[in-house]
Amino acid sequence: MTDTFRQQMDRELGLLGIKLSEKQLEQFFTYYEMLVEKNKVMNLTAITDETDVVSKHFSDSLSLLRVLKRVMDSGDGCDGSRVYEEELLEGKSVIDVGTGAGFPGIPLKIAFPGIKLTLLDSLNKRVKFLEEVCDALELKNVEFIHGRAEDIGRQKEHREMYDLCVSRAVANLASLSEYCMPFVKIGGFFVPYKSGEIEDEEEKQEKAWLSLKRDIESSANTIHELDTGKCKGYNRALFVSSILNKVGTYAGHGEVEIVQRAVDFISEYNARVKKPIITARNKFFSLPETARKTREKLAIVKEQKNRTLPFEGGLLVWNYGESRLQILFDKIPEDTKRKELKSSGFRWSPKNKAWQRQLTPHALSAAKRVLNLQTIQS
C-alpha cells in the first residue's frame, strides 16, 4: 500500500467519521489495484487516478454512513454525531443494483463485513470481475447476479427480500425507484446515490413531458377530427408519424419515463374514442422497451474512458461521460472559425471551456470538416 493511498483514505474517511483497520485498508488497496489493472482490458471506470478513486469511488460509496445514522438508528438524528461501527449493519441484507465496477457494494462490504451483500449487474463480464475481486479480498456472504433489475425484481427469491437497496447506476431518480423499490422489504430502505440535483432533474423532466404532451395531444386531436369527419384535407398518416417521431426521439435518448407516459397517454386517449389514434400493432407501443435498451447501452458508453486526438492548435475529446464531442483550442479561434463551428452544430460550453455537441457520427464528420482533419476513427 502506498503512503499517498493511506493518507488519502484516512483524510477522506475521517470526514465521514470512519476509522478502518489495517486489514480493511489493505483490502481497499488490493481492490484499487485490481480495478486499474482490469480497466486496461475492460471498460469499468473512467476514473483510475489513485486520489480520484479514493474520493470519487471509495469515499463516495461509504458516504452512505451519513444516511445510516438517520435510518438505522433514528435516535441519533443526522448530525454526524454517531461514530463508525463495523456492526452497524450486522446481518442486514443489502443489494447493489447496477453495481458496475462494484460501487457502492464492495466498499460497503469491506467497511461492514457483517452484511449479506448481493451484487446485481446486466453485464456478465463485470459480474465475473466482481467475483474475482471478492475472492481476492476474501469477502464472504456475497451473491452475484447477472441480469436486469426489472426482471430480477419480479422473482420471488428477490422481491421484497432486502433491508437495504443501494444504487449508483446511471439513471434518473424515477427510473432508479422503479427498478429498485421492488427489492425492498417492508420496513427496509432504498438509498439512491443522488445529490442535490434531484429536484432540478425532476423539474427538467416534467417540463420536457409537458412540452411533449402538448405536441402529441394536438396531433391526436387532429387525427380524431379526421376520423370523425370534423376535419378534412390532411394526411392522417403524417400526424401519426409526427407522434411516433417525437416520442421516438426520447426513446433514442433512453428517456424511459417520458416515453412510458406518452404511451400511457395515447392508450388512455384510445380508450375514449371509437377508432384508435394509433393501433396496438404500431411499433409506437414498443418504444418503452427501446428506451430501456438504449439507456443500458448509454450507461455502458458513459463508463468508457475519454478519448483524445491532438490537432494543430488544440485537442479533440470524446467525452463519453457527458456524451459530447468537444473541441479545445489552445487560443480563442477567429471569428470566421467560431461562425463555422456554430453552423456545424457546436456550441461554446463555459463550464467545460470547449466547443461541443452531442457525440454522434454526424458530430465526428462535422469536426473533421471544421478542423480539416484527414481521418477520424469513431
- CB burial class (10 A; 0-12, 13-18, 19+) of residue 332? exposed
Choose one of 128, 158, 192: the last residue of a domain.
192
Which structural domain range is residue 273 located in?
A: 198-291
Choose one of 159, 192, 225: the last residue of a domain.
192
Determine, yes or no, domain membership for 377. Answer: no
State the average pLDDT for the chain: 86
Q: Do 170 and 204 belong to one domain?
A: no
Q: Do 150 and 90 belong to one domain?
A: yes
Instruction: List, for residues 350-367, the tens digit of each pLDDT value.
Output: 888 899 998 888 999 999
Instruction: List, for residues 103-157, the tens digit of each pLDDT value.
Output: 999 999 999 999 999 999 988 999 999 999 999 999 999 999 999 888 899 899 9
Determine, yes or no, domain membership for 332. Answer: yes
Q: Do 169 and 244 belong to one domain?
A: no
Instruction: List, for residues 233-258, the tens digit of each pLDDT value.
Output: 899 999 999 999 999 999 988 888 89
Q: Do 53 and 77 belong to one domain?
A: yes
Q: Do 285 and 312 belong to one domain?
A: no
Contact 270, 278 (CB under 8 A): yes
Calpha distance 364→95 (Å, rounded)? 40
Determine, yes or no, domain membership for 302. Answer: no
Determine, yes or no, domain membership for 215. Answer: yes
- Residue 297: its pLDDT value, please? 75
Quickly state the pLDDT bin for 65 (edges 50, 70, 90).
Answer: confident
Q: Do 99 and 160 belong to one domain?
A: yes
Determine, yes or no, domain membership for 296. Answer: no
- Domains held by the chain: number: 3
Choose one of 125, 160, 192: the last residue of a domain.
192
Task: State how far Cα 221 lies from the chain centre.
Answer: 36
Residue 78: C-alpha distances to residues 67, 95, 324 (Å): 7, 23, 38
